[in-house]
A and B are shown apart, each in its own frame.
Chain A
């Protein structure tokens, strides 16, 4: 669905490239997450792939269209949810979607259904100017689905939202994933990326450092640990022991044989820890 090769882009006033030699592929039906800190080049990459930025260097094929020969038909197949809400504040929520659906040649979803899906059906006839930040974000998110995109670009879809709304958005993304929509997710939220993605690409300072599945990343870079809480001599104790270190494995066996275990569970390294280990950078 997406085929990117040696993508390079430098902004007009930039002293160095915002992205350098980025190459990756996204298969049909796959959820691919670009993970990286602010300014890493995630949005630039997405900007090029959605046609908002020109193709300067390298090659990119999106939904079967070569971006060197741009066609408006491409946009019938893609949907873009922007990080910053961008809706017409003088129009109502419903009017925003009705207007947007008229810009496509393909069959579109009913605006009322989309508003219901994101919980805005009760305020469908209110002007977007009166909406909170979260409501505007949901409207932007709903709009990106109106043309039933085969390829869906999501830029920080849950950033700045309260946990309940973020969970609602995550559920919708999972539903679309199950129905076969290909998704390119750009985020610095490791939890979201891990929950939704089939594969993850770490991007730092404009370079794609690593691409793999969350499971493989953990197996390759994560240290398997066991967290154990036990009682001994009427006192509670808590220890974190490595399963790969022989001494710590023996210590675990001793605890199990002699003490009263209260809680014990394995703990994997988080994606954030792996990201820091691989890139040497934190996700800020």
Chain B
């Protein structure tokens, strides 16, 4: 039984590696992950960029310029806007004896310690003077690009598994090889398992590689695998259905594209819609997958939540 199942899967791999469209599907998520990783700020930077308001003490500006670039902006709002931008900039506000460091979470890990150190040197505070340095962020612990970009890619790769299965089925129909398989000693169940195997294996490998490329820390790989498996099953069913009803690759891909709409809709809805509108997306398994992966990336997921959700 397993020999026949693996024969089907092995044939599909071999054939897929000789098909430009399938090769693209296999490589594109990894290339996109690499691009995302390149744009995630902080990595590899060794200078501290800061933004201050006009009128800040010149000695402070000089001290900060000695350790990196300094942008002098009109007011606090402008500094906040600058900090929220996608690159790696700290805001520094001085109010009398109180110094405030503003971060948005996308700065390189540990760079805030460096800013604190610079400010302490600038102050050279005598031990008898009270000094409070406060550190605050504006609610994000991970950059939006890293948090949502990686997540969207992870959920979307599950569809690619179904798409590869679909293209392999269409190939069998176009070349009429299904008739030859039907007169061989392989059962329908073995054939379906063999065909479907790649629909699970490819998204899981993609997911693991994307997580590695994106450089997330402390990821629960088992949880991610579970989420990917559950949505890969849905994508696989869609892939089989489209493969069965289409006789050529182009019409099958067109049908699959229509399926992208609810997938992207669910994910962007989860990002941009207010929480009160989220029940409108509860029907979509891709919404739940997106939320689950989000919780895993933010280290908010635990097995208890997973098990209760499963129940």
Other-chain residue from B10, B19, B171, B179 in contact with A82 (beta carbon distance below 8 A):
B179
* B13, chain A: closest CB distance, angstroms: 11
Other-chain residue from B14, B15, B179, B185 in contact with A72 (beta carbon distance below 8 A):
B185
Counting chain A CB atoms within 10 Å of each CB, the highest count among B3, B10, B14, B177 belongs to: B177
Is the C-beta of B31 less than 8 angstroms from some C-beta in chain A? Answer: no
The interface residues of chain A lying within 8 Å CB-to-CB of B18 are: 90, 127
Residue of B at shortest CB range from A98? B7
User: Given known contacts A102-B3, A102-B4, A143-B180, is B175 in contact with A87 (CB within 8 Å)?
Assistant: yes
A73 to B185, Cβ gap below 8 A?
yes
User: Given known contacts A90-B19, A91-B15, is B182 in contact with A51 (CB within 8 Å)?
Assistant: yes
A86 to B185, Cβ gap below 8 A?
no
* A157, chain B: closest CB distance, angstroms: 15
Is the C-beta of A95 less than 8 angstroms from some C-beta in chain B? Answer: yes
The interface residues of chain A lying within 8 Å CB-to-CB of B180 are: 80, 82, 86-87, 100, 140, 143
Is the C-beta of A105 less than 8 angstroms from some C-beta in chain B? Answer: yes
Is the C-beta of B186 less than 8 angstroms from some C-beta in chain A? Answer: yes
Is the C-beta of A65 less than 8 angstroms from some C-beta in chain B? Answer: no
B8-22 toward A: CB 8 Å interface, digit per residue (1/0)?
Answer: 001100110011000
A68-106 toward B: CB 8 Å interface, digit per residue (1/0)?
Answer: 000011011011101010111111000100011011111
Is the C-beta of A3 less than 8 angstroms from some C-beta in chain B? Answer: no
Is the C-beta of B187 less than 8 angstroms from some C-beta in chain A? Answer: yes
The interface residues of chain B lying within 8 Å CB-to-CB of A76 are: 185
Alpha-carbon distance A89/B4, docked complex (angstroms)? 20
* B24, chain A: closest CB distance, angstroms: 15
Alpha-carbon distance A50/B183, docked complex (angstroms)? 7
The interface residues of chain A lying within 8 Å CB-to-CB of B182 are: 51-52
Selected A-B contacts with CB under 8 Å, 22 pairs: A51-B182, A51-B183, A52-B182, A73-B185, A75-B185, A78-B183, A80-B179, A86-B175, A86-B176, A88-B15, A88-B171, A90-B15, A95-B14, A99-B11, A100-B184, A102-B3, A103-B7, A103-B184, A103-B186, A106-B185, A143-B180, A147-B185
Beyond the given A86-B175, A91-B15, please list 14 additional residue pairs across the A-B interface where CB-CB is below 8 A: A52-B179, A72-B185, A72-B187, A75-B183, A82-B179, A86-B180, A87-B177, A87-B180, A90-B15, A99-B7, A99-B10, A100-B180, A103-B7, A104-B185
For the complex of A and B, the 9 pairs showing the least CB-CB separation, nearest first, are A102-B7, A103-B184, A86-B176, A75-B185, A80-B183, A90-B15, A90-B18, A103-B186, A76-B185
